[in-house]
A and B are shown apart, each in its own frame.
Chain A
Amino acid sequence: MTVGRLPSIDGGIQPTIVDAKGDLIAAVAADTPARIGVGANDTVLTADSSTATGLKWATPAGSSLSIAQIASGTVTSGQQLSLTGLSSYDTLELRVNAINLSAEDLMGVRINSNSGSNYEYNSARDRATASFDTSEPSIGFSLTAGYFDVMDAYLANGNTTNHFRIRFTNCKSTGFTLVEGLYTYRWLQSATARSAVTQWMGIYKVAEAVSSIQFFTGGSGNFSAGNYVLWGA
């Protein structure tokens, strides 16, 4: 075989079809080869049906996330905050700060309003008051809960020192979603400091994309103060 000539029954593709180092040959139609000039450094060959050859050089998508704030507001009434229209985000981070409830209550998080036994999580809680509390620290877990217990069976107090941060990843996938959260609480009452921390990690075991998130009380306490910010990528 002669270098510079690609043999075939009809005599092969002429070497003059390529002009420079890195050039490629692709078909523009049946039995019709054409040159694809080499792309710029660090670009990759990508299928694109709109070009003559069906290919183009393109910069590969970066692995870093482009996270931006997508929603914010206040929670001053009701028992539930439902954030909807989330289908286009793969990573979400929800911050709910300075939550005040009208009465002590549980707090939970659900995905897509699903109340089934699809929430598996492990949690660790520590709480401190002026006197030693023999019930703390504590750990909890559930393999089949109906929601993520974001405080580990602790009750949010009626003051503005309840702070939550919850992260959702793999949301766009049709597979399961990973969720993790942190709850912090610190309150100074009559010179007595009280504090609590709950950290938890879980998985939403339903093979579906996340389209909405619900952050709710146990039904005894209403939101009377607080604010939220949601970031997404």
Chain B
Amino acid sequence: MQKIIHNVETNEISIVDLTEAEIAELEIEKIKKAKIEADKQKAEAAKAHERSALLAKLGITEEEAALLLGGN
């Protein structure tokens, strides 16, 4: 794991390894990201369930719904 350091005063650009502390912080961020992804999947699953329920209520297929809405 690396970072780009650009010293604006000297215009020197270097690539160095992240410190142990920085890597530890990234692990925390990975947990946060995993939660966001889980929430997103949960929301998408709920949405798919709502769509299926509505189609069943209307008695039409997904393709027929797309045709009605003018979608592709």
- Chain A: residues with CB nearer than 8 A to chain B? 70-71, 73, 75, 77-86, 88, 104-106, 108, 115, 130, 134-135, 146, 153, 155, 191, 214, 216, 218-220, 223, 230, 232
Contact of A219 with B30 in the complex, beta carbons under 8 Å: yes
Contacts of A232 in B (CB 8 A): 8
In the bound complex, what is the Cα–Cα distance between A77 and B5 (angstroms)? 12
Query: Between A and B, how many residue pairs show CB distances below 8 Å?
Result: 84
Least Cβ–Cβ distance between B53 and chain A, in angstroms: 14
- Interface residue B18 (Cβ < 8 Å from any Cβ of A): yes
Contact of B6 with A77 in the complex, beta carbons under 8 Å: no
Contacts of A79 in B (CB 8 A): 1-3, 18, 26
Residue of A82, A104, A106, A191 touching B6 (CB-CB under 8 A) = A82
With contacts A83-B6, A106-B32, A106-B33 taken as known, whether A77 is within 8 angstroms of B71 at the C-beta atoms is no
- Chain B: residues with CB nearer than 8 A to chain A? 1-11, 13, 15, 18, 21-23, 25-27, 29-30, 32-33, 36-37, 43, 47, 71-72
Residue of B3, B7, B10, B71 touching A81 (CB-CB under 8 A) = B3
Contact of B2 with A78 in the complex, beta carbons under 8 Å: yes
Contacts of B27 in A (CB 8 A): 219
Contact of A78 with B10 in the complex, beta carbons under 8 Å: no
Contact of B4 with A82 in the complex, beta carbons under 8 Å: yes
With contacts A78-B2, A79-B18 taken as known, whether A218 is within 8 angstroms of B7 at the C-beta atoms is no
In the bound complex, what is the Cα–Cα distance between A171 and B3 (angstroms)? 23
In the bound complex, what is the Cα–Cα distance between A134 and B42 (angstroms)? 13
Contact of A83 with B36 in the complex, beta carbons under 8 Å: no
List the A residue with the shortest CB-CB distance to B31.
A218
